[in-house]
Amino acid sequence: MFLLRRKTVNFLALSMTLLALAGCAGKPAGQDKPGQPGTKPAKDQVICFNLGSEPESLDPAVVEGKPEGTLLNAVFDGLVRYGKDNKLQPALAYRWDISPDGKRYTFYLRNAQWTNGEPVTAGDFEYAWKRVLDPKTGSSYAYQLFCLKNGEAYNAGKLKDPSQVGVKALDDQTLEVTLEAPTPHFLGLTAFMTYYPVNKKVVEANPKKWYMDTASFVTNGPFKLVKWEHNQKLELVKNPTYWEAQQVKLDKLVMTTVDSNDTALTMFETGQADFVYDPPKTQLARLRQEDKLSISPDVNTYFYLLNVTKKPFNDVRVRKALALAIDRESLVQKVTRGGEKPARAFVPEGLPDVDSAKDFRNAGGPLMDTYNAGEARKLLADAGYPGGMGFPEVAILFNTNDNHQKLAQAIQEMWKQNLGINVKLSNQEWKVLLKSQQSLDYDISRASWSADYLDAMTFMDMFVTNGGNNYTGWGNKEYDALIAKAKVTANSRERIKAMHDAEKILISEMPVIPLYFSTYSYLQSPRLKDVVVSPFAYYAEFRWAWVSED
C-alpha cells in the first residue's frame, strides 16, 4: 500500500576506473536518443528533479541518505569528484602528493570561494572533518573517516585532543592528511559528502540550524540553494561565485520532495517533472513500451537468508534444493520487471577484479545454475523429503513492501510446483524484521546488500563466522581464513583469488540464496541532456546538464 523509501548512500569509493557495466536492459544512461532533435539549448534552462523525500538535514556531517547526497552534491564541491565518465578528477584540490608508504596525503587547493565571498581554505576542511568525528556531533557516517589517524579513537571518546587527528591545514591552500594505515580507496572517499568542507564561521555562529536558513547555508558548489519550502521543494540556482561556473549551464534546478513514486510518475507524465527515479513496478511494462524507461546498473544483490541453525536448513542439500528450484529468469522477466539480472553467485557486477578493467563477477563466472528443478528435486529427496513429503512448516519472512511480497509469492509457488513443499509467507514491519533476523528468529528471510565501497570485500566479509551482519548462523573456518587472508594481503592477485575461492565456498554451502542483481530505473525527459547517473552516493549529477529545444 505505501512504502517508505529512504535509501542510505552506497559509499562506493575507490580511486580507480569504474567498470563498464555492460549488458543491462534499457537505454544507456546520459545519452541522447538518436534521430531526435535537441542539440540546440533552449532559452529556459530550468528543470525539475524529484528528490523523493524531504532532506532530513543538509549538514554534510550528519546526512546519510541518497536524496540528501544528491542535493549536497549539487551545492558542494569536495577535494575530488567523479567526472562524466565516472572517473575521479580534481575538484577543489588541483593536485595532491601521496607519501611512499601510502599514509600521508598532501592536497593543494585552488582559489575558490564560498557563496558568501570568503575563500575556501584548508582550515575549512580540517574543521569540517574534525567536526564529523567529534562525538558530540553524533554523525552516523563518522566511520567513513575512521581511516584518518586517531579518527576512531577521537570519535569513541578515547582520545580527547582533536589536534591529534590526522588532518591539518599547513596553510590556507595546503591540507595534510595522515592515515591510520594505507587505504587505497581513500582518495575516492574524499569525493563524498561526509568529506565536504564547511565554512567554519557560519557553522560556529549557529551550529544546530545553520543550514535551515538559505542565508547562512553557505556552500561552494555549482549551484546554491535559494529557497526551501519544507516537504515541497528546494530551489537551486547557478552559483556565480563557483570556480568552474562557466561549466554550469542550468539557470535553475528545482528539486521536489514528492515521496510517492506513483505521484512522481504522474508528475513526469504530465510534464511537471523532468527526472524521476524508481517508477512503480506495475507501470514498468507500459513505460518500457512507451520508451520512457531508463535503467542503469546498481551494485546490489537481492537474496534470501536461510537460518542454518534450524531444521531443515541445517542440511546443505535442502538449502541447495531450495536455491535451484527457483526460476530466476522468470522472476526478473515477469515479477521484478526492472531489467535485473538473475544472480548465479553472490557478488554482483560492478566491482573490480585483479586487473581493474575486468569485473570481479565476470572473472569469477557463474557458480550455480539459474534454475534446475530436476536437480533440486533430487537433492530434496536425498535430504529425506521425497516430493516434499514430511517437509516441516516454514515461512518466508520479508519486510512490509509490495515488491518483496510479490517476489515471495512467486517463489512460494515455484517451490510448491517444483518441490512439492508448502511454505508460508509472513511479513513484518522493517525494524521488527531486523530484530527477528538478528536474533535468528526466522526460517527464510529476504535481504539485500549494496556495496559500501568498490571492492568485492564489501560483499564477502559479511558472512564470516559471527560477523556483525551475518544473520544466518552459518560459519565456515575455511571461508573465514580466506577472508582474513584477503584482508591483510597486499598482493592484489592473491587477495582477489582468496575472495573468489571464498565465494565458491559460500555458494556450495548456500547459507544464502542469491536471487538477482538489482538495477536503478528512472525516467528522464528527452529534452534534458548530459545528466550523469551513477551508482554512487547520489541519484543524478546536474553539473553539466542542460535543456535542449524541443
Partner 1 sequence: MWGFLLQRTVSAVFALFFVATVTFFLLHAIPGGPFDNDKKLPPEILHNLEAKYHLNDPLWKQYTDYLRGLALWDLGPSLKQEALSVNDIIRQGFPVSATLGALAVSIALVAGVTSGVVAALCHNRWQDYLVSVLTALGFAVPNFIMAGLLVYIFAYQLRWFPPALWGTPAQAVLPALALAAGPAAVIARFMRSSLLEVLQQDYIRTAKAKGLSQAMVVYRHALRNAFIPVLSYLGPMLATVFTGSFVVERIFAIPGLGQYYVTGIVNRDYTLTLGVTVFYSVLLITMNLLADLGYVALDPRIRLVDRTR
Partner 2 sequence: MGSTTYWQDVWRRLKQNRPAMSGLVIIILLVILAVIGPYLTTYSYSTQDLTATDQGPGVRFWFGSDDLGRDIFTRTWYGARISLTIGVVTSLTSAVIGVIYGGISGIIGGKPDELMMRLVEILWSVPFLLYVIVLIVIMEPGLTAIVIALGTWYWVPMARIVRGQVLALKEQDFVLAARCLGAGPGRILFRHLLPNAMGPIIIQMTLVIPEAIFAEAFLSFLGLGVSAPMASWGVLASEGIKALKSFPWQLFFPAFFITVTILAFNILGDGLRDALDPRMR
Q: Which positions lie near partner 2, rule CB under 8 A? A: 1, 262, 280-283, 285-286, 330, 333-335, 400, 402, 405-406, 408-410, 412-413, 424-429, 432
Nearest residue to 301 via CA among 253, 351, 263: 351
Query: 406 is in the binding site of which of partner 1, partner 2, none (Cβ under 5 to 8 A by kind)?
Result: partner 2
Name residues whose C-beta falls within 8 Å of residue 43's C-beta, 6 or more positions apart in sequence: none
User: Which residue from 44, 85, 97, 262 is in contact with partner 1, where contact means CB under 8 A?
Assistant: 262
Q: Binding to partner 1 (CB under 8 A): which residues in 225-244?
A: 229-233
Which does residue 441 bind out of partner 2, partner 1, none, counting CB within 5 to 8 angstroms by kind? none
Residue 452 interacts with which of partner 2, partner 1, none, CB < 5 to 8 Å by class? partner 1
143 binds, among partner 1, partner 2, none (CB under 5 to 8 A by kind): partner 1
- 405 touches, from partner 2, partner 1, none (C-beta below 5 to 8 Å by class): partner 2
- CB of residue 402 to partner 2, shortest distance in Å: 7
Closer by beta carbon to partner 1, 84 or else 435 = 435
- Minimum CB distance to partner 1 smaller for 286 or for 358: 286
Footprint (CB under 8 A) of partner 1, residues 144-163: 146, 152, 155-157
Cα–Cα dist 423/62, whole Å? 42
Q: Residue 427 Cβ, how far from partner 2 at the closest point, in Å?
A: 4
State yes or no: residue 135 binds partner 1 (CB under 8 A): yes
Q: Which is nearer to partner 1, 68 or 541 (CB)?
A: 68
Q: Which residues contact 368 (CB under 8 A, 6 or more apart)?
A: 323, 324, 344, 345, 507, 514
Which residues, other chains included, contact 160 with Cβ-Cβ below 8 Å and sequence gap of 6+? 154
DSSP string, 156-188: TTS---GGGSSEEEEETTEEEEEBSS--TTHHH
In angstroms, what is the minimal distance from the CB of 413 to partner 2? 5
Residue 409 binds: one of partner 2, partner 1, none (C-beta under 5 to 8 A by kind):
partner 2
Binding pattern for the stretch 468-507 against partner 1, x by CB under 8 A and - elsewhere: xx--------------------------------------
What x-and-dash track marks residues 242-261 binding partner 1 by CB under 8 A? Answer: --------------xxxxx-
Contact pattern for partner 1 over residues 436 through 455, marking x by CB under 8 A: x----------xxx--x---
Provide the grid cell at 41: 539549448
Assess 426 for contact with partner 1 (CB under 8 A): no
Whether the Cβ atoms of residue 312 and residue 385 lie closer than 8 Å to each other: yes
Residue (of 116, 93, 79) closest to 193 by Cα position: 79
Report the Cα 213 to chain-centroid distance in Å: 29
8, three cell numbers: 542510505
Residues in the chain: 550
Residue 106 binding result from partner 2, partner 1, none, given CB thresholds of 5 to 8 Å by partner type: none
Tell me the pairing of strands 424-428 and 395-399. Answer: parallel
Is residue 289 within the footprint of partner 1 (CB under 8 A)? no
Classify 203 as helix, strand or coil: helix
450's grid cell: 549494496
CA distance 103 to 72: 28
Distances (CA, A) of 27 to 30, 34, 115: 9, 11, 37
Sheet strand arrangement including 93-98? 93-98, 104-109, 174-178, 167-171
- In the complex with partner 1, the residue whose CB is nearer, 171 or 441, is 441
Cα dist. 320→372, 440, 460, 504, 512 in Å? 10, 20, 19, 13, 9
Task: Round to whole Å and give the CA distance between 427 and 519.
Answer: 24
- Contacted by 160, from partner 2, partner 1, none: CB < 5 to 8 Å by type: none
Does 429 bind partner 1 (CB under 8 A)? Our answer is yes
Residues near partner 1, by CB under 8 A: 1-2, 4, 8, 54, 56-57, 59, 62, 135-140, 142-143, 146, 152, 155-157, 208-209, 211-212, 229-233, 256-260, 262-263, 266-267, 269-270, 272, 429-432, 434-436, 447-449, 452, 468-469
